[in-house]
């Protein structure tokens, strides 16, 4: 079987789409599937990671059109027709695709209709539910997602894989889950006073174009005055446009460790007691390892994720990134440190959100010759 992924990344788009596709690709390859990628060479792309994972990659050239951060319709960098034509040309150079898996907010039914004759089945990974999709399988891993928003957007025959059972996480997270449960129990017993030794992780996603990493770091600098035993890990991408300024800031903070291009996020999360992070796909990773988090909403597509996680009691939603203040961050972290029972409840709620084996479930569905009507 041959499966092709169509997905892009850039310093504006972010890296989450490529990372979750790599997660699914790895699960499929473990079952003997041949996998290829088609990905455009936007500024700040991470196509090198696809190659490092030993997948065949057909790069598409950088488009002539500007990409606007807050307008996902622009994220192809070219017209939808141009992208479809170039993707078809790429697919014609490789083995026929049993599945074409598309993870891209700028791609919709017009594109799907053009490429449908070049694959046996088409899978869409989405979490917006805002445009027509001409697909055989729809995957939306948003917590508590139901079918209603998609009913008028997809074909009647489409199989829907919705909600927490299909969250795409790398195997490392499920492997560390038992250890995380033991460590969280131990740490909750050690909290409850201002001199608690607490490790806080800041992870605002791969690109963090709005530099929320700095906002969080400056807030913790303020908190450090009253809680001098806190330690902080700041995790960023080496392609971040704010890399130099963040390095400079971290050099002045002896209690902060800067980690660039972490190769083992699960280990970093195990070591942390509390996180501050965006409401993207990393939110599911934190939940799988029971890591309470203060979440920010950095884009419109994160609104529902942040709300559902907050409603489940797994996170504290700080809201829209422009409205977040240092005092908000300090107050919420202090509350978690000083109230171990509240911390432990959040830990338990996190574990209930995600079990870490969603990629295996998706793989089983795709490798089943007769797709279920509803999975």
Cβ–Cβ contacts within 10 Å for residue 342, how many?
Answer: 17
- pLDDT tens digits for range 146-196: 999 999 999 999 999 999 999 999 999 999 999 999 999 998 889 999 889
Largest Cα–Cα separation, the chain: 63
Residue range 4-11: average pLDDT?
Answer: 96
Using the structure block, give the residue that is written with the tokens 């509803």.
374
Strands 34-40 and 2-7: parallel
Q: What is the pLDDT of residues 122-142, one digit of tens each?
A: 999 999 999 999 999 999 999
Confidence band for 210, pLDDT divided at 50, 70 and 90? confident
Contact 235, 262 (CB under 8 A): yes
* Per-residue pLDDT tens over the stretch 277-321: 988 889 999 999 999 999 999 877 789 999 999 999 999 999 998
Nearest to 289 by CA among 182, 188, 163: 182
Average pLDDT in the chain: 94
Q: Is the pLDDT of residue 370 over 60?
A: no
CA 169, CA 172: separation in Å to the nearest integer? 8
Q: Rounded distance, CA 37 to CA 246, Å?
A: 32
Question: Which of helix, strand or coil describes residue 319?
Answer: strand
Tokens of 19: 């990372």
Q: pLDDT band at 8, cuts 50/70/90?
A: very high
pLDDT band at residue 21 under the 50/70/90 scheme:
very high
Residue 336: its pLDDT value, please? 95
Q: Which domains does the chain have, with CATH numbers?
A: 2-169+357-367 (3.40.50.11190), 171-353 (3.40.50.2000)
The SS3 of residue 119 is strand
Residue 105's pLDDT band (boundaries 50, 70, 90)? very high
Residue 371 confidence (pLDDT): 56
Q: How confident is the model at residue 205 (pLDDT cuts 50, 70, 90)?
A: confident
Are 160 and 234 in contact, with CB atoms under 8 Å apart? no
Taking CA atoms, 280 is separated from 95, 295, 296, 306, in Å, by 33, 9, 9, 9
């Amino acid at each position: 079987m041959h499966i092709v992924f169509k997905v892009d990344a850039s310093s504006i788009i972010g890296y989450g789409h490529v990372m979750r596709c790599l997660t699914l690709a790895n699960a499929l390859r473990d079952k003997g599937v041949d996998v290829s990628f088609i990905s455009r060479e936007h500024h700040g792309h991470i196509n090198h990671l696809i190659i490092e994972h030993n997948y065949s990659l057909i790069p598409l050239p950088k488009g002539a059109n500007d990409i606007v951060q807050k307008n996902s319709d622009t994220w192809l960098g070219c017209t939808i027709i141009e992208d479809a034509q170039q993707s078809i040309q790429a697919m014609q150079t490789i083995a026929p695709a049993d599945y074409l898996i598309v993870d891209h907010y700028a791609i919709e039914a017009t594109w799907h209709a053009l490429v449908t004759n070049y694959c046996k089945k088409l899978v869409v990974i989405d979490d917006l539910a805002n445009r027509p999709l001409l697909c055989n399988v729809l995957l939306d891993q948003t917590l508590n997602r139901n079918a209603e928003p998609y009913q008028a957007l997809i074909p009647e025959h489409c199989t829907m894989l919705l909600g927490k059972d299909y969250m795409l996480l790398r195997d490392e997270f499920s492997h560390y889950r038992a250890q995380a449960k033991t460590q969280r129990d131990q740490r909750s017993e050690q909290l409850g006073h201002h001199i608690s030794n607490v490790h806080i992780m800041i992870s605002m996603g791969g690109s963090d174009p709005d530099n929320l990493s700095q906002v969080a770091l400056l807030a913790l600098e303020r908190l450090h005055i009253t809680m001098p035993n806190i330690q902080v890990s700041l995790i960023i991408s080496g392609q971040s446009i704010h890399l130099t300024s963040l390095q400079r800031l971290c050099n002045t903070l002896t209690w902060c460790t800067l980690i660039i291009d972490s190769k083992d996020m699960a280990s970093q999360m195990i070591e942390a007691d509390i996180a501050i992070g965006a409401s993207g796909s990393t939110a599911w990773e934190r939940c799988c390892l029971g890591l309470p988090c203060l979440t920010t909403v950095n884009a419109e597509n994160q609104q529902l994720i942040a709300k559902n996680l907050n409603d489940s009691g797994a996170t504290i939603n700080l809201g829209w990134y422009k409205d977040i203040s240092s005092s908000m961050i300090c107050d919420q972290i202090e509350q978690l440190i000083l109230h171990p029972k509240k911390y432990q409840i959040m830990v338990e709620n996190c574990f209930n959100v995600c079990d870490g084996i969603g990629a295996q479930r998706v793989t089983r569905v795709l490798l089943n010759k007769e797709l279920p009507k509803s999975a």
